[in-house]
Amino acid sequence: MSQNASQESTSAPESTSANTASERILVLDFGSQYAQLIARRVREQNVYCEIVRHDITPEKIKEHAPVGLILSGGPSSVYESDSPKCHPGIFGLDIPVLGICYGMQLVCENLGGKVGSTNTREYGRATCEVDTDSELFQGFPKQAEVWMSHGDQVQSVSEDFVALAHTDTCPVAAVKHNRLPVFGLQFHPEVTHTPEGSVLLRNFLYNVCNCTGTWKLSDFADEAIKRIREQVGDSRVICGLSGGVDSSVVAALLYKAIGSQLSCILVDNGLLRKDESKWVVKQFSEHFKTDLHVCDGRERFLSNLAGVTDPQKKRKVIGNEFIECFKAEAESIDDARFLAQGTLYPDVIESGAAKDGPAATIKLHHNVGGLPEQLGFELIEPLRDLFKDEVRRLGLELGLPEQLVWRHPFPGPGLAVRCLGEVTEDKLVVLREADAIVIDEVQKADLYRSTSQLFAVLLPVQSVGVMGDARTYENALVIRCVDTDDFMTADWSRLPYDLLANMSTRIINEVSGVNRVCYDISSKPPATIEWE
């Protein structure tokens, strides 16, 4: 049982982009925090992978035509009556199966093994010793470090199974079925804490599933361009620009597909970073000869945010105003039938937008919301099958500059969720200047690419300070910098002390109204990356 895993089961719909990958792996998700990571690791091996519900039927699986199935981990115990189960018929499809953690326990329970609670739980690093050679462990060290996260384990297996490996406290750490192409791993090969884990995944893909590694992002781009042309015809497409990598790559892909039929809209809501609007216009003027509209909504956004302090209410106000601004600008564009959005695969999964059945909604994303319906447009989401790192690689393939492709994420509500309490123009001026200094210093230290997200947060707190011989009572500001692979979990960045000192000194000296700078050393979970 993976008790560190998320308690909420996520799932993905069938792909609406009709991806034509000739080789496909399905990950059956049992609520694991690592399900997306499994899919990403498979794709890194040039094999296309999708996440589906844990209870997908054998008939639905056949429609996907996968070459292999991976059963993810999960927070439950397989012997509990209400725990998520897979359809037992999947083991009779003659499709290779790899069970990971909870997935391995399901495999063994379905095929004659016994799973139970153990007095010695394993959380963290363990040493795995390989006992039996197999195609799954080809090239894997006889003794290697692995990452465990379980309180239950397989206590016995039927004579149909062979135990392949063990740890000091887990006698059955890996299994293989004698007759069926079914394998199980009690540990997590997908995480970086299992250094040789990619060897096991590659062996499953290439030795067991007989994959040839035909999926490439360049092929994805060609297919996406073809689909866009077929869907759009000679109509006009509107794309909302934010300056972030997702909308930029969507615009680049659309421009390559339909050229002058593309119109882009940038809504300046007054909550952007320093000189952001000018920067976006410059970038797109240099790289695209397309129709670009800039909607100046600064006054109306700030007016409607006056007096609002609740974070969720802020988001709703900003979302509503964005729709109104965008709608007004879009109505001035003739012959527009389509709206393009930078929806990514994690957005689809986390929004619970599943076609195969009910799914838990973890959070709502503005880019999977009701904007297309309100505007009366048909929706184009060419990136909805991709993860963030794949979108960056695609952007480079499409010729976008590295400084744009590798920009850190910026929230849809902008600086409003980094300006705690009421949002005012005076506070935003302070926050913009401080944020620009933080980014500038990290870039000078050549650490921008090695960190994942970096920003300043202005607190609704004032503290006593001394500047010169005078007592001050001014704002406290927090610097937040995190490292992450997938933004589902994150750790605070261990920035050098000298760098932090430079940031603090510059902010206090150059930004009027700040006399105290703090550094956020919280991880996600339990904290979130953004403060609101």
Give the catalytic positions in this structure. 101, 188, 190
Amino acid 169 reads: T
Cα–Cα–Cα angle for 300, 301, 304, rounded to 5 degrees: 85
Instruction: Report yes or no: 12 and 354 within 8 Å, Cβ to Cβ.
Output: yes
List phi, psi (to 5°) of 145.
-80, 135
Q: Concatenated DSSP letters for 2-44?
A: -TTS-SS----PPPSS----SSEEEEEESS-TTHHHHHHHHHH
Coil vs helix vs strand at 514: strand
Strand-strand pairing, 114-130 and 174-177: unpaired
Can you tell me the distance from the alpha carbon of 430 to that of 477, in angstroms, rounded to the nearest whole number?
10
User: Running DSSP on this structure, what letter comes out for residue 294?
Assistant: E
Q: Concatenated DSSP letters for 167-218?
A: -SS-S-SEEEESSSSEEEESS-TTSTTSTTHHHHHHHIIIIIS-------HH
User: Running DSSP on this structure, what letter comes out for residue 93?
Assistant: S
Q: Give Cβ neighbours of residue 394 (< 8 Å, ≥ 6 apart).
A: 217, 220, 221, 249, 253, 383, 386
Can you tell me the distance from the alpha carbon of 459 to that of 423, in angstroms, rounded to the nearest whole number?
11
Give the side-chain half-sphere CA count within 13 A for 441: 24
Strand partners, 519: 479
Instruction: Report yes or no: 297 and 329 within 8 Å, Cβ to Cβ.
Output: no
Instruction: Report yes or no: 188 and 149 within 8 Å, Cβ to Cβ.
Output: yes
CA–centroid distance for 344 within its chain:
8
